[in-house]
Chain A
């Protein structure tokens, strides 16, 4: 990447560092921000009711640094909102109190956002640093691994997160579109925000390692990790995130209306609706054309629910027609009562429809049959079909109007990358390294994420004993994007080939990354020598 050497000029970036009871690591987190090659920064440390960190912050004597010192513990989302209210930068970046940026982090992302793309969000890669915490407070680095280096995938981001917050930078004014951090959530706060960001912008992936986030071996004390252990609470948060959408208009996502057709709101219908709520991750509104007498039986806690009172004696087609006029969304799904609902139940057909190059297509849902027919179509196609052939059943009217209805083919389905990755990882687990290697290679060839997958393929080939291929791939990766893993792998192969000088060169590079100046080493002496008399900002 070509970078502008004049880093003094440029838009201000607000870096927000919420902290809670981890003063021993905060110093290095803040220091890593202040030593960025990119200088126009506003650094906001938010003490979320934890131990006093005033001395640590003031010891830097840097006018770019601000401390929000709150006594009450209100959580990360509240802290970030508090910081956002004071942020002045064009861009916003995030850092946890125990993680670090490499000196080029901000410069790399600003450069990407300012000159390489029209994206308003960019992210880089970080090392996950496995550490052993020693009794003196220091952290011994055991390994540094780039666990995820995934190219932006909007559909996946709706389902789950693949961009860590610490790697992220975005325009601050996007928050006006997304809304603030959701303070009702107590886990997955970061994903909730990145999920909302995907409604408005593509994300630019800078394939460069620009920092580290730490992971202690053994029991992890991170609040987010602890909270994930409560499965019910975790699932509740997931459902809240999936069913919350930012205000429209959305530039990058089109909404879907699901018309649920049932005679009555009985137990089975209730079960189907609940299942639908639990298993749908794309944005949707659920329309319920039902007799008014069922209205009071509705669970009003469910979001995105739109009730349409209809004549109790009306047919299913009449009910669909009744609600169709109200539907504003681009896509419409028709789902009958009792339809089997499982993971990715509706998204497969929707994904195929969104990506179909042909007009007048409709895709039947997985599990759809003649007697229990369900499909996703474009609103305009359905409206045209109903207007032109109101006397026909919905399915027949679509056909009569020239809308081709079919099940999606395998190649049209979403998450092929993830399914293949899962297959490869299962093969690894079973010791089928050759099979895993070939799957990784195939993914690299056909599903983006080439360097990441090639790195995994090299490792798998090595374990499979296919040394030549492992050497070829690890060399290829190290020329573009060296990581500790691939440097070590190529070094092992060089040593086996008795090329000791090359092996030493590679190993020395790996060792420098592992214990270089950015290694997560914390020394009490650093802190004790700080000027404790500095004034609090």
Chain B
């Protein structure tokens, strides 16, 4: 113990007030009280103008109000403040998707997943954007990675099974659907898709013993 090192506790906690305001904003936002949420986010901005959090919150509120331009501006500010702000990229993806700019939405979701392969919003957004564009080049990989980390997440199992189906990988699709139905036996969409997959499998077996040849061009 050396008193010449005279700061007993040198930690400087300078973000506490900002955190309280941000949390208040997030709470009200989640509860749907957007005017109060906005008020707290704006207060948070004055305390910590370099933090992306309040801008993400303001972007979410704008999205709820369908003010897509305002939402995009807010999310862009957040991205500029923090190039690794996952929520801001997800927000930009949702905004672009709602503007029917699926290409941009796809890019934003992809950027988000590059930063956080765990992000469910981006994952499902990517899937939806892919569906709109009819392009599934990269998405299967992200869904597989996510499911490896979150086995049993039925909200992702179904899109993945759909993608396997579209890709002609019927056996894999069937397996995922069976797993899904073990977890949620009343999943109507899964039941329907499984029926479709089994039908395709039956047809494949009739036409050729090699699944790959049958599905080319499907």
Contact = CB atoms under 8 A, between A and B. Distances in A.
Interface of A: 130, 140-145, 147-148, 159-160, 162, 217, 228, 231, 234-235, 238, 343-344, 415, 418, 422, 425, 484-485, 488, 491-492, 495, 500, 503-504, 507-508, 510-511, 514-515
Given A217-B12, A235-B4, A418-B1, A507 B27 contact: yes
Interface stretch (B15-23, B86-94, B102-110, B155-163): B15-23
B182 interface: no
B137 interface: no
B17 A514 contact: yes
Given A130-B13, A500-B27, A511 B20 contact: yes
Nearest to A492: B23
30 contacts: A130-B14, A140-B46, A142-B15, A142-B17, A143-B14, A143-B16, A144-B16, A144-B17, A145-B13, A148-B8, A160-B3, A160-B8, A162-B8, A217-B14, A234-B4, A235-B4, A344-B1, A425-B9, A485-B13, A488-B23, A492-B23, A495-B23, A500-B30, A500-B31, A503-B23, A503-B27, A504-B27, A507-B20, A510-B20, A511-B24
B1 A130 contact: no
Residue among B2, B4, B26, B27 with most chain A CB within 10 A? B27
B1 to A, nearest CB: 6
A452 to B, nearest CB: 11
A234 B18 CA distance: 36
Contacts of B9: 147-148, 425
A280 to B, nearest CB: 13
A228 B6 contact: yes
A449 B51 CA distance: 35
Contacts of B31: 500, 504
A273 B85 CA distance: 60
Contacts of B23: 488, 491-492, 495, 503, 507
Contacts of B20: 484, 488, 491, 507, 510-511, 514
A238 B3 contact: yes
Residue among A144, A418, A500 with most chain B CB within 10 A? A500
A460 to B, nearest CB: 13
B181 interface: no
Contact of A488 (B6, B12, B16, B46): B16
Contacts of A500: 27, 30-31
Contact of B12 (A130, A485, A508): A130
A141 B20 CA distance: 12
B178 interface: no
A422 B1 CA distance: 9
A101 to B, nearest CB: 21
Contacts of A145: 13, 16
Nearest to B5: A231
A491 B40 CA distance: 16
A351 B152 CA distance: 60
Interface residues of B, number: 26
Nearest to B4: A235
Contacts of B8: 147-148, 160, 162
A142 B18 contact: yes
A495 B16 contact: no
A211 to B, nearest CB: 18
A396 B12 CA distance: 55
B47 A140 contact: yes
Contact of B16 (A234, A422, A484): A484
Contacts of B19: 488
Contact of B21 (A140, A422, A511): A511
Contacts of A511: 20-21, 24
Contacts of A343: 1-2
A140 B23 CA distance: 19
A484 B14 CA distance: 13
A148 B26 CA distance: 31
A343 B5 CA distance: 13
A159 B31 CA distance: 53
A508 B28 CA distance: 12
Contacts of B3: 159-160, 238
Given A159-B3, A415-B1, 18 more contacts: A130-B13, A142-B17, A143-B17, A145-B13, A147-B8, A217-B14, A234-B4, A238-B3, A238-B4, A488-B19, A488-B20, A491-B20, A492-B23, A500-B27, A504-B28, A507-B24, A508-B24, A514-B20
Contacts of B21: 511
Contacts of A491: 20, 23
Contacts of A143: 13-17
B214 to A, nearest CB: 47
Nearest to A429: B11
Residue among B3, B14, B20, B26 with most chain A CB within 10 A? B20
A380 B18 CA distance: 62
A140 B12 CA distance: 15
B113 to A, nearest CB: 23
Contacts of B4: 231, 234-235, 238
A496 to B, nearest CB: 11
A162 to B, nearest CB: 8
A238 B24 CA distance: 46
B96 to A, nearest CB: 28
B36 to A, nearest CB: 10
A344 B1 CA distance: 8
8 closest residue pairs by CB, A with B: A143-B16, A142-B14, A510-B20, A160-B3, A514-B17, A507-B24, A143-B13, A147-B9
Nearest to A147: B9
Nearest to B7: A228
Contacts of B17: 141-144, 514-515
Contacts of B30: 495, 500
A418 B20 CA distance: 31
A142 B24 contact: no
Contact of A495 (B13, B15, B27): B27
Contacts of A344: 1
Interface string B22-54: 011011101100000000000000110000000
A514 B21 CA distance: 10
Interface in B90-144: none
A269 B19 CA distance: 58
Nearest to A142: B14
A508 B21 CA distance: 9
B97 to A, nearest CB: 26
Nearest to B6: A228
A195 to B, nearest CB: 12
B28 to A, nearest CB: 8
